[in-house]
Structure 1
Amino acid sequence: MIAQLRIDDRLIHGQVALVWTKELETPGIVVANDNAAENEMVQMTLKMATPTGKKLLIRGVDDAIKVFNNPKAAGMRIFALTNCVQDALKIAQNVKDIEGINVANVGRFTKDADEATQLTSTLMLSADELAALKELVKLDVPVFHQVVPSNTKTAVSSLLKDI
């Protein structure tokens, strides 16, 4: 079961490694990202950022979906990370057991920042990401924005109501 699917353009970093893994009480992290699955340098960086004692699995999105749907994963609490809304949408459309989707940090490093729609200080979405986010909130899973656990959860649907 996915305890949380977090969309974060940095994937694993301090907030994820030190705060969210403790908050969610998950024994491991699954990074669902095609680039990370294919790039040894990215894999090495993610492994170094993973907290001691936590397991890390790095898979392309399609392979990660197979992992999440494997009956052996049914009894595990999994913290899943991806770095774009489109990948989260694909996962949510193909995996039934997700407690919530946290749209935390997206688009701050985009090269097309002038054309991005800014929803919050940590959410700057391209037209494609915005369209995917609108589809994501239609699914039967809570979709929220929460950078750290001490922040209030904000329903993404409320961020989109005027767009």
Structure 2
Amino acid sequence: MINFFRVDHRLLHGQVAQAWYGATGANCILIANDEVAGDQLRKNVMKLAKPAGAKLVIQSIAKSANSINSGVTDKYHVFVVVASIHDAYRLLQKLTVNIKELNLGGTSPSAEAESLSAAVGVTPQDRKDLRKLQEKGMEIFIQQVPSEAKKVVNFRKE
């Protein structure tokens, strides 16, 4: 079961490992990222950052979708982390399970991105992807840490 779905360009770091992991009730973190899945050094670094007792799975986006859709993850409470809005869109398009919320926690700085918060900026392509997700009923919100209030964002009116 997917407990939480977050976009965070840093993937697994202190904020995710400590604040979010505990707040979501997850017992498994799934890093869905094509680059990290193919880089053993980066995988090893991610393993060092995982919370004690947590299961950590690092897979490509396609393999992550297959794992979720096959039901192999159903026995876990899964916290999914992707590096970009487009990666979130790609993964969500492949899923047969319904994900109701997408947390925007941090995006890579970009000259073409419009800032929505101190940590989140969206490019024109991000806006298109987020609009399509919202049209399917997904709530999209910005929230850095669990103690901060959710800021729901709307891309449908554009």
Q: Report the CA distance shift for 1:162/1:98 in structure 2 as closer, same or farther (over 3 A).
A: closer
Give the partner amino acid of 2:106. N
Question: Deviations along 1:73-92, whole A, 9 cap, x unmatched?
Answer: 23421000001111111222
Contact 2:28 2:76 in 1 (8 A): no
What SS does the aligned partner of 1:137 have? helix
Give the partner amino acid of 1:79. F
Equivalent position of 2:106 in the other structure: 105
* Correspondence for 2:123 among 103, 121, 126: 126
Is 1:44 equivalent to 2:44 in the alignment?
A: yes
In structure 1, runs of 5+ residues without a counterpart are none
What SS does the aligned partner of 1:72 have? coil
Contact 1:2 1:97 in 2 (8 A): no
Please give the alpha-carbon distance, in whole angstroms, between the structure 1 residues aligned to 2:5 and 2:71: 18
Please give the alpha-carbon distance, in whole angstroms, between the structure 1 residues aligned to 2:114 and 2:37: 29
Moved over 6 A (4+): none
What SS does the aligned partner of 1:30 have? strand
Please give the alpha-carbon distance, in whole angstroms, between the structure 2 residues aligned to 1:99 and 1:162: 19
Please give the alpha-carbon distance, in whole angstroms, between the structure 2 residues aligned to 1:40 and 1:46: 10
Contact 1:27 1:78 in 2 (8 A): yes
Give the partner amino acid of 1:106. T
Please give the alpha-carbon distance, in whole angstroms, between the structure 2 residues aligned to 1:139 and 1:103: 17
Equivalent position of 2:140 in the other structure: 143
Offset at 1:162? 7.5
Equivalent position of 1:19 in the other structure: 19
Please give the alpha-carbon distance, in whole angstroms, between the structure 1 residues aligned to 2:26 and 2:85: 22
Answer 1 or 2: which has greater helix percent.
1
Is 1:55 equivalent to 2:55 in the alignment?
A: yes
Offset at 1:97? 3.4
Contact 1:117 1:124 in 2 (8 A): yes
In structure 2, runs of 5+ residues without a counterpart are none
TM-score by length of 2: 0.90
Equivalent position of 1:116 in the other structure: 113
Please give the alpha-carbon distance, in whole angstroms, between the structure 2 residues aligned to 1:134 and 1:23: 27
What SS does the aligned partner of 1:120 have? coil
